[in-house]
Chains A and B, each alone.
Chain A
């Protein structure tokens, strides 16, 4: 019930945001256009129903495009890249964290310092360097590792996923290191060590279970950051995804469709995760 309420409040927030440019444009002229704002929200909502008839004019294809199935293809492609990158980032960062936790205190500190500063690399730089590197490699050896730009409706996967995953990996890695170190100070770790369990076992089994929960709750910000990155990535690689599609449809209905296509899966992912972890914490007490 609570979840449903939160779901509707979030939807209301997104809908309110979708017509904001009208208010801003009015504000620039020095007047409050509340009426036009609410009218725009109303017409936008009417456009969205019935859902089968939504169509956007597409500049690539030079014709209007219905939401089903054409635009849906864009959406699935974007979501595929997003979630593949997320999965890669989570797995890699957790593996690296576990490995680093086994190191000595001093080298851990160094790793954390390096991570802190690595976080300040702009995502644009990573994408551009990756594209340059691929071309350079191609010129040197004649092997094309991956296409650096999609033509038409081509789908390229691994290079965009790699570019998208690097920064979130660094962020999650640092976050996980902080939570694991926090966890290490808990009493049960001392107890387990006193009982003679090996360091690997304690980190992997006991600490991992508890730390993962708080990493999950803090990962929302990383996800938000990834969405912006995905947008830039699609532009720079010219990927046929929903973000690029949106750039050609910068009006309220297009904005709503694009945002909802991310909002729905992400909201369910997070709600399910929260529900699962909260239940586990309540059911077992402190592990």
Chain B
């Protein structure tokens, strides 16, 4: 796994964001540098938002905060939350799927069509619908802390697609249960728990890993979508002041919030919404690189299959004999013809 270039590149991108995020906060504190205008020859040439230049690779936002700094500070929230959503989801769905596939196999059909109805509800919509009471700040302010809210959001988002993932695993497990070696194990007296532990889980380990990667990717997308709906990771700060109300704001610098709160600047300052989405895309790309690398390290024969033209000595010998005999017959025929 560690020798696969794809896996290592993907991992290092994610590690860069995570480590960079903590290091940035450790060195420069949790407020990015701020600049109101750029001076050139004694005159201010550009005010905030400043477009990308060498000093500020991604420019600055409308209040003059360095966008790269904001993105780096926010990386840890977004990435860790997405990883956590995937992990919680798998932790619930995998055992549930196995139970459905083995103990409750008779009920699998109707439970699966119940879970199937999830496929008609757009995930983003469902998430927004369910999460609004959690994340939208009520007029009297939040009663819980930001970490509590992030925790609740992670658990809810994880639970949303548990039925679909569990059914996927249950169907897969049911397919494997029909194999002969499982039957043999059963005949030898293996209980269901032992079959799950010893046969089903090892067989599906790779599939589960890939599924986890897919869940993480999907979560990033849903985070971004929720950002567009102004539902930010860890809650949305809403100003209820009727006169000078600020627009809804994210409490941390997480990426969905950076995107969602700047989307309306798309035409005037395109780097503001584009940079967070690019970062999200880059992270998703890193996850898919890791998945590909992981799969390649597990089945290296994918490449070798095509070179399966192995020279087999027996086949060669047979061919040689055939050629030999053919030549002899031909010679005999020619001798006969001459006579």
Residues of A that sit less than 8 Å from B by CB: 5-6, 9-14, 17, 20-21, 24-25, 28, 105, 116-117, 119-125, 128, 131-132, 135, 220-221, 223-224, 227-228, 230-232, 235-236, 243, 246-247, 250, 255, 258-259, 262-263, 266-267
Complex: A235 Cα to B287 Cα, angstroms:
27
| Interface size of B in residues (CB-CB distance below 8 Å) | 51
5 contacts between A and B (CB under 8 A): A20-B129, A21-B130, A25-B134, A124-B277, A228-B125
Complex: A229 Cα to B199 Cα, angstroms:
39
Name the residue of chain B whose CB is nearest to the CB of A259. B121
Inter-chain contact B116/A10, CB cutoff 8 Å: yes
Q: Which 9 A-B pairs have the closest CB atoms?
A: A13-B117, A10-B117, A227-B122, A263-B120, A25-B133, A120-B284, A228-B124, A120-B285, A228-B122
B266: interface (CB < 8 Å): yes
Inter-chain contact A28/B133, CB cutoff 8 Å: yes
Q: Which residues of A contact B270 (CB under 8 A)?
A: 128, 132
Q: Which residues of B contact A11 (CB under 8 A)?
A: 117
Name the residue of chain B whose CB is nearest to the CB of A265. B120
Complex: A223 Cα to B118 Cα, angstroms:
12
Q: Which residues of A contact B114 (CB under 8 A)?
A: 9-10, 12-13
Q: Which of A124, A221, A243 contacts B125 (CB 8 A)?
A: A243
Inter-chain contact B266/A224, CB cutoff 8 Å: no
Inter-chain contact B277/A125, CB cutoff 8 Å: yes
B274: interface (CB < 8 Å): yes
Q: Which residues of A contact B128 (CB under 8 A)?
A: 250
Highest count of chain B CB atoms <10 Å: which of A14, A122, A250: A122
Highest count of chain B CB atoms <10 Å: which of A124, A128, A228: A124
B259: interface (CB < 8 Å): yes
Complex: A121 Cα to B217 Cα, angstroms:
10
B179: interface (CB < 8 Å): no
Inter-chain contact B119/A122, CB cutoff 8 Å: no
Q: Contacts A21-B132, A124-B225, A247-B229 hold; do A223 and B125 have CB atoms under 8 A apart? A: no
